[in-house]
Structure 1
Amino acid sequence: MQALEWLENMPQQFKKMPVEVVELSPYRGIVFTGMGGSGIVGEITAMFLERRGVDIPTLVVKDYRLPPCVKEGWLVVAVSYSGNTEETLSAVEEAVRRGSTVVSVSSGGKLKNVALQYNLPHVDLPQGFAPRYALGYMLSAVLSLMGMGDISQKMGEHLASYSSVIKEKAKELAQRLKNYLPVVYATPLTGVCAVRYKAQINENAKTLCHTALLPELHHNEIVGLDNYLTRQMCHFLLLYDREDHPRILRRVQITRDILQEMGLVPIELEGEGESFEERLAYLIYLGDWLSYHLAVLYGFDPLPVKSIDRIKGMLS
């Protein structure tokens, strides 16, 4: 199965890429724009930049339009694996009109043509993958552009060393989640993992998945657990990182206790690794394997995304 091969080889995608590093100091802000499997790259990179103390705004845009503040003096990094994502293309055209600096990343398509048309810096990716299975290539390209190629290299090495552990754990988790609605509760440092879990479970396992973030879920969603009938349909995952704010970690404990008092058995997940980036990569790769094993349990080929293809056809 093609999906299995791509997943097995995912750690090899993470590497320092030979691209020219973008000097960020002249810019008033950075926008990462992309959708789906390409869009999450911006969310991860923005978080890494923030943790490294980059003191200019970093925005993630998953839309046709850019915020009004994005104009001359801003850097726009556009990621579309296929190069044909219409929302991303629209945002790039708008960025060019406003005088923003644009850097693009794709395996070809219209985005590369736009880069050639306007003489924009462009990073080419290997072709032939489903976008969500090319996360390592896309993230490596953008991290390398941002001067963090070494981090990408270390993430790949870390995943390779933990690959067998991750695969076995994912298979066990899939068995526990089968026939339930997965509900992924995450923290500020693991929220991007929850986004990835949801997307991968949706696309690969062809099933719904719900996510919510602490501390916000303690101000609304937690009350929704009072309904016995609906909560019994769910299986809960709690994602967190040891570097989360102490009050967030306390809220993770409280959430676990509340779920247990209701007779539920939440699954707590923290990434393995010395650095935050390694632990994040661990959790993401675990979620990818989890979605694959769920697909197998439900009898689905992980690759086809017929509903997405249908929508694209209706929009064309």
Structure 2
Amino acid sequence: GGQVKELVDKKYVWMELEDGFPPRAAVAFLFFSLVKLLEKMELIPLQKKIVDDVVANLIKKAGSIAINVEAKKNLAKTAAEEINNKIPVIYSLNPRLAPLAYRWKCQFNENAKYPAFWNTFPEMNHNEIEGWEAKKLPAELMPIFLSGFKCKNCYSKRLQAFKKLLEQQDRDFLEFYVEGETVIEQVFSLIYLGDMISYYLAILQNVNPTSIDYIDYLKENI
């Protein structure tokens, strides 16, 4: 607003975002605003069909994991219940999914006020996998695998081998898959699922998913 808006009006293509959202809750506004800007600048063709498909896929997803859907039929609620009182360690099956694993980790941290960690295949195979050999590994650690994207080398053999090690330890793990036809649909399907899992985990932990008291405290004390 103000003088900045006046300057932008004169020189730049711009879009105004809705306010009132925590940055982590505005990822769709930020992404699709960027798409629209690129369209206006004629750097990419019109993406209406792709965007419409993403929205349709998310609406369908929302209907299946909404708060009014009972837990036994609700993937997000079921996952939150399984993760509750465990420590999630989120692994993406390939580096292209790594940002999604990081997103899930951050959402568990900020929304549920819950510890979580992340890494990606094949990187974790070079070092972190050895940590799972610890003799007194906490039983609460729970691997979560994010899988998807069609590619020639998605490290599925590495994943299956790692799962066998976990099964030998009688360790629980979860696996989730992308949904949709396009990469954007698939990305947002897992973003939304992770967000809702973190929301239901916040409810189970009896915490406010929008507050960031520790972050605010840190800002006030540096």
Normalising by structure 1, what TM-score?
A: 0.60
Shift of 1:192: 1.4
CA distance in 1, matches of 2:37, 2:121: 31
Give unmatched runs, 5+ long, in structure 2. 39-43, 67-73
Distance 1:225 1:285, change over 3 A: same
* Among candidates 79, 83, 91, match of residue 185 of structure 1: 91
* Among candidates 160, 163, 170, match of residue 59 of structure 2: 160
Q: Deviations over 1:21-76 (max 9, x none)?
A: xxxxxxxxxxxxxxxxxxxxxxxxxxxxxxxxxxxxxxxxxxxxxxxxxxxxxxxx
Equivalent residues in 2 for 1:254-293, closer than 5 Å: 254-293=161-200
Q: Is the 8 A contact 1:196 1:284 kept in 2?
A: yes
CA distance in 2, matches of 1:225, 1:299: 30
The number of equivalent residue pairs is 207
Aligned match of 2:130? 223
Q: For CA contacts below 8 A with separation 6 or more, give which structure has more relative contact order.
A: 2
CA distance in 1, matches of 2:207, 2:142: 20
Distance 1:123 1:161, change over 3 A: same
Q: Is the 8 A contact 2:149 2:178 kept in 1?
A: no
RMSD: 2.4
Equivalent residues in 2 for 1:142-161, closer than 5 Å: 142-146=34-38, 147=44, 149-150=47-48, 151-161=50-60
Give the letter aligned to residue 146 of structure 2: L
Q: Is the 8 A contact 2:113 2:202 kept in 1?
A: yes
* Among candidates 128, 143, 149, match of residue 20 of structure 2: 128
Distance 1:109 1:125, change over 3 A: farther
Aligned match of 1:248? 155
Aligned match of 1:306? 213
Aligned match of 1:239? 146
CA distance in 2, matches of 1:273, 1:261: 34
Q: Is the 8 A contact 1:166 1:285 kept in 2?
A: no
Give unmatched runs, 5+ long, in structure 1. 1-107
CA distance in 1, matches of 2:83, 2:137: 15
Q: Is the 8 A contact 1:181 1:209 kept in 2?
A: yes
Shift of 1:159: 0.5
Q: Is the 8 A contact 2:15 2:37 kept in 1?
A: no
CA distance in 2, matches of 1:127, 1:176: 34
Give the letter aligned to residue 118 of structure 2: T
**% same residue:** 29
Greater Cα offset, 231-240 or 215-224: 231-240
Q: 3-state DSSP class of the match of 2:18?
A: coil
Q: Is the 8 A contact 1:240 1:249 kept in 2?
A: no
Give the letter aligned to residue 153 of structure 1: D
Q: 3-state DSSP class of the match of 1:230?
A: coil
Shift of 1:161: 1.4
